[in-house]
């Protein structure tokens, strides 16, 4: 994979987070949505109008360009879940290395819980440095299309990058 390919996905991931963040502020935190970034843009899936998604994408892009880099990191990102799962699994495995049976269950639970607590700041760091890139100068939105309806409405936000 070329670095420009990876950078494009990371920038679109940052813009996806900014867009969903703007939408959640406008529509309320109870609005259920999910997103997925790709090299040519990103998707927002949920019961949200195309007009709201379009406005939020443009606002999110403008705010990232103005330096609001915090919008690129989301507490709801799948990166956080992967980080928590990976650390909890590793901590559990390491705590079970020396013993077998149920006698070590308290140590496994303690190790996994500690790992999940540690994963919260590490997931945000992973987003900031690995899975998103908030420097979006040269990124432009070239179109928004929608398909489906209700909670299954899929909005495709197409981007181009210098």
List per-block mean pLDDT (blocks of 10 residues) for the chain, which spans 162 residues: 87 98 93 96 97 98 98 96 96 81 81 95 96 97 96 96 92
The model carries a pTM of 0.90
The gap between the terminal CA atoms of the chain, to the nearest Å, is: 18
Q: What is the pLDDT of residue 99?
A: 65
For residues 34 and 32, what is the distance between their CA atoms, to the nearest angstrom? 7
* pLDDT score of 101: 66
The CA distance from 156 to 43, in Å, is 5
């Amino acid at each position: 994979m070329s670095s420009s390919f990876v950078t494009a996905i990371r920038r679109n991931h940052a813009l996806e987070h900014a867009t969903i963040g703007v939408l959640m502020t406008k529509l309320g935190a109870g609005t259920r949505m999910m997103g997925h970034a790709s090299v040519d843009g990103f998707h927002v899936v949920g019961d949200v109008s195309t007009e709201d998604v379009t406005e939020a994408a443009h606002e999110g892009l403008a705010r990232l360009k103005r330096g609001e880099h915090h919008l690129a990191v989301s507490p709801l990102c799948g990166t956080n879940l992967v980080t928590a799962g990976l650390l909890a699994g590793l901590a559990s495995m390491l705590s079970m290395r020396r013993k077998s049976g149920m006698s070590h269950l308290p140590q496994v639970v303690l190790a996994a819980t500690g790992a999940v607590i540690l994963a919260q700041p590490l997931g945000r760091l992973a987003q900031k440095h690995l899975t998103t890139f908030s420097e979006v100068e040269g990124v432009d939105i070239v179109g928004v299309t929608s398909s489906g309806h209700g909670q299954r409405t899929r909005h495709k936000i197409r981007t181009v990058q210098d």
